[in-house]
Amino acid sequence: MYFPPEPADTDADASSPPFTFTLAVKDNIATRSPDDSTSTTCGSRILQNYKSPFEATIVTQLRRRGARVVGKTNLDEFGMGSHSLFSHFGGTYERPHDPSSGSAGSAGAAVSVGGSSGGSSVAVRLGDVDVALGTDTGGSVRLPAAYGGVVGFKPSYGMLSRFGVVPYANSLDTVGLLAPTVAPIRRLIVGEDPTSKRSEEQDQTAGLWRESDVDRDPTSLTLASRLRIAGQRMGYNGETFAPDLRGMTFGIPLEYNIEELDPRIRTAWAAAAERLRSLGATIAAVSLPSTRHALSAYYVIAPAEAASNLARYDGVRYGQIGDLGAEVETASEAEAKAEPETKPETTPPTGEADGEQDEAVLYERVRGAGLGREVQRRILLGNYVLSSSARDNYFVQAQRVRRVIVRDFDAVFRLPNPLRDHKTVGEHQGVYTDDARGHIDLSDLPEGLPLADKRGPAQVDFLLCPTAPTPAPRVADVEAAPSAVDAYINDVFTVPASLAGLPAISIPMPAADTGTATEAEAFCPGFQLIGQFFDDARLLQVAETVMTAAFEQPEDMAALEKHRKTGVST
């Protein structure tokens, strides 16, 4: 993490924010400093000296709410990775603490901090900042949060502005927040007083969901749309519910109980469900049958969009040739430096062909020298699935899978999806409804529909599932994997919510044996709570309730602190 100077106060007459907090910003989010010394590198060589001429909207919004930006954090290059190892400036990882020596363990025992927002997670985990900004395309906020024992929140797609965020995959990218607990995230998203009316001036107690400057922002929902949807959602207008979760139903998606799930996480999952039940919630098993296709669809759609977005890094629009050295020397420059006797005797009949050839060579060398191997791998994959011979078989099919995944979620949630026609809810399961709330009308169930007791799909408020199938792996195991794509399996539980654009939050939960865990064994796995689109306010309130109850015992809180501090970031 490096530390840019704070910009001078440009509005000295403005009232002070009701609270202040320190903020770290992931280095693919644009920031500015008074002396123009702050870079936005995306962890890439091709942007190592890039200075943004403007600041990202989300950073400006948080500054108005009292944020003091103290640093920018490392990441996988352009956000492409699950372990924060693919940065041009070096990977971010943890070396487990050795209790006997009081120092970090050997480099060979280094453990992944997750990615791609690994630097932001570490900054929160070690107490360097109160809140950190990350980006979540397929789990890049939630996975590092789960590995680090902190909270990682991915809001509904379009909730937070992406203006000033360097794009990876536009239809999936979401700005996310990390913090030690849910409270600061909820305060920033929902606001101090949801019942207060906005004034013409900036209301510094209002939540980010009520920002008015998004009306001219194509990367987020307009304020009118937000207010319309919020009218159908609890939590945005001052409504509260019992802190013991009575009357709520939490779904356990059966498809997430995969064979590769670590037994300790499976045990903790069952314990978490029982904890919800003890708070008054009902637990129901639900099915999301298209989940098994989500990871494959994601790794078609995301690389395809990345290939398009990263075409701009060509040494002309972005990427300074001088920063990359002799590796990008053009053919003409090389020829000019050649000895006279080595020059060709003939020249092309026109300068146009020579110029086109030179331009192609320039692009190839700039991108080859300036982009890392993982980025190049995904660009190649994206260009392939968009090619005329593969587009219909891969990209089009992946988009169809994505639509089915959205319908799977809509079929199990109690709340309707405000972005869809409610008449089609459950259509893919043979169930049709004209109910304005999207509920299933039992009279419309076909006789032959194979549903137990003809009850229709379960109607739940939220889903509970693990964030990752395993604890954080050793870096050596990641690097020794037979194929680089083996690491993609870490996103298997996070990409479904990303494809559907749903809000999801990863919170740490105690393992079953935390009371007897030693410092070296401390383990608090991360679990996701997933809600319906734009149900962010209620999701955050539930997550805060659950996490508070989970760590009310001193031994559980002590285990969480051990889990967060078992390593030293490098």
CA distance 136 to 172: 8
Question: Do the domain assignments include residue 131?
Answer: yes
In angstroms, the first-to-last Cα distance of the chain is 10
Question: Do the domain assignments include residue 491?
Answer: yes
pLDDT at 202: 44
CA distance 207 to 186: 8
pLDDT at 322: 61
pLDDT at 135: 98
**Strand, helix or coil at 536?**
helix
Question: Do the domain assignments include residue 423?
Answer: no
CA distance 400 to 9: 49
pTM score, two decimals? 0.86
What CATH number is attached to the domain comprising 522? Answer: 3.90.1300.10
Domain count, the chain: 1
Total count of residues recorded for the chain: 570
Please list the ranges in the chain whose pLDDT falls under 70: 1-18, 96-108, 192-205, 238, 240, 320-358, 421-458, 512-522, 566-570
CA distance 64 to 20: 10
**Strand, helix or coil at 133?**
strand
Q: For 407, what's the count of Cα atoms within 13 Å in the CB-facing half-sphere?
A: 19
CA distance 55 to 189: 20
Question: Do the domain assignments include residue 537?
Answer: yes
Question: Do the domain assignments include residue 492?
Answer: yes
Question: DSSP alpha helices (H): ranges in 413-483?
Answer: 475-479
The distance of Cα 273 from the centroid of its chain, to the nearest Å, equals: 24
Question: DSSP alpha helices (H): ranges in 259-372?
Answer: 263-278, 294-309, 321-324, 331-337, 351-370
Does 308 qualify as catalytic in the annotation? no
pLDDT tens-place string over residues 24-63? 999 999 999 887 788 999 999 999 989 999 999 999 999 9
Of 378, 362, 320, nearest in space to 48 by CA: 320
Name the catalytic one among 26, 72, 154, 562.
26
Task: State which H helix or E strand residue 508 sits in.
Answer: strand 504-508
pLDDT at 561: 86
- Compute how many other C-beta atoms are within 10 angstroms of the C-beta atom of residue 152: 36
Range of the domain at 37: 21-301+461-569
Task: State which H helix or E strand residue 249 sits in.
Answer: strand 249-253
Which tokens sit at 434? 């004209």
DSSP secondary structure string, 348-412?
-SSHHHHHHHHHHHHHHHHHHHHS-HHHHHHHHHHHHHTSTTTIIIIIHHHHHHHHHHHHHHHHH
pLDDT at 361: 75
Question: Do the domain assignments include residue 31?
Answer: yes
How far apart, in Å, are the Cα atoms of 563 and each of 124, 167, 173, 204, 511?
13, 32, 29, 35, 11
455: Cβ–Cβ under 8 A, 6 or more apart, which residues? 442
pLDDT at 332: 45
For 60-155, where are the E strands, in sequence order?
A: 67-73, 93-98, 103-104, 111-112, 131-136, 151-154
Question: Do the domain assignments include residue 390?
Answer: no
Does 26 qualify as catalytic in the annotation? yes
Buried b (16+ CB within 10 A) or exposed e, 113-145: bbbbbbbbbbbbbbebbbbbbbbbbbbbbbbbb
Question: Do the domain assignments include residue 385?
Answer: no
CA distance 505 to 268: 17
Does 296 qualify as catalytic in the annotation? no
pLDDT tens-place string over residues 353-367? 556 666 777 788 888
Name the catalytic one among 44, 87, 116, 117.
116
Q: In which residue are the tokens 């995306």 written?
A: 42
Name the catalytic one among 112, 117, 140, 290.
140
Q: Is the peptide bond before 116 cis (omega within 30 degrees of 0)?
A: yes
Sheet holding 151-154, edge to edge: 67-73, 21-26, 131-136, 174-179, 151-154, 504-508, 526-530, 462-466, 249-253, 282-286
